[in-house]
Amino acid sequence: MNINNIAVVLMVIILFIIPGCSGDIIPPPPPEPDIFAEVSGYDNLHFETVVNPTWNDAVKQYNYSGFMNKNGKKYSLIIGIFYHDSDLYAGTYNFSPNTVPNQVYAIGSLIINNGKSDKVFLSDSGTINITKKIGMSIEATYEFYATLKDSTAQIRVYNGILKKN
């Protein structure tokens, strides 16, 4: 077979295959949620979404953040875990509103945007129990209380699960 005959055969095959494709491309399944929590107090909701992990070695911090839209509001749940050793290890650590030198600690925040302004709640207390930590992968449970910035309004974030593989 010469090159012209091969080209004709390929064109015929393409003409029969392309019309058979209805354009139905099967999209990939949506990503599984990695971060879950119940929120009560100032606002009440079940938070469940995909987590976006980031790492900053300069300040020795892991951030796990998730974003969700519900009832016309945008919610952002962020858990920052600060460490002082060469890396973060499994263990139980406290949520704090401030930096804690030479200790592993977490800062949790929930940001609620109703289209007009942000309501920022920062953790006052609570714990995160990291059961598995390899690289950016983490498995943990958490609970914390947080207060609205410049206010006394509070929320409780509980039954929290963070599972990023």
Longest pairwise C-alpha distance within the chain: 83
What average pLDDT does the segment 83-87 reach?
84
Cα of 22 vs its chain's centroid, Å: 36
What are the domain boundaries of the chain?
A: 30-164
**HSE, side-chain direction, 13 A CA sphere, residue 107:** 14
Is the full-model pTM beyond 0.85?
Answer: no
| Poorest-pLDDT segment among 3-7, 87-91, 96-100, 137-141 | 3-7
What average pLDDT does the segment 13-30 reach?
61
Tens-place pLDDT, residues 36-69? 999 999 989 999 999 989 988 888 899 999 999 9
Q: Please state, in angstroms and as integers, the Cα–Cα distance from residue 37 to each residue in 92, 144, 158, 163, following that order.
A: 18, 10, 6, 12
| Nearest C-alpha neighbor of 129 from the set 87, 160, 165, 98 | 160
**HSE, side-chain direction, 13 A CA sphere, residue 41:** 17
| Nearest C-alpha neighbor of 49 from the set 25, 28, 27, 79 | 79
What average pLDDT does the segment 90-94 reach?
95
Which of 5-9, 53-57, 91-95, 149-153 is the most confident on average? 91-95
Q: What is the pLDDT of residue 117?
A: 84
Instruction: Answer yes or no: are the C-beta atoms of 152 and 130 closer than 8 Å.
Output: no
30-164: which CATH topology? Lipocalin (2.40.128)
What average pLDDT does the segment 112-137 reach?
91
- Percent above pLDDT 90 for the chain: 54
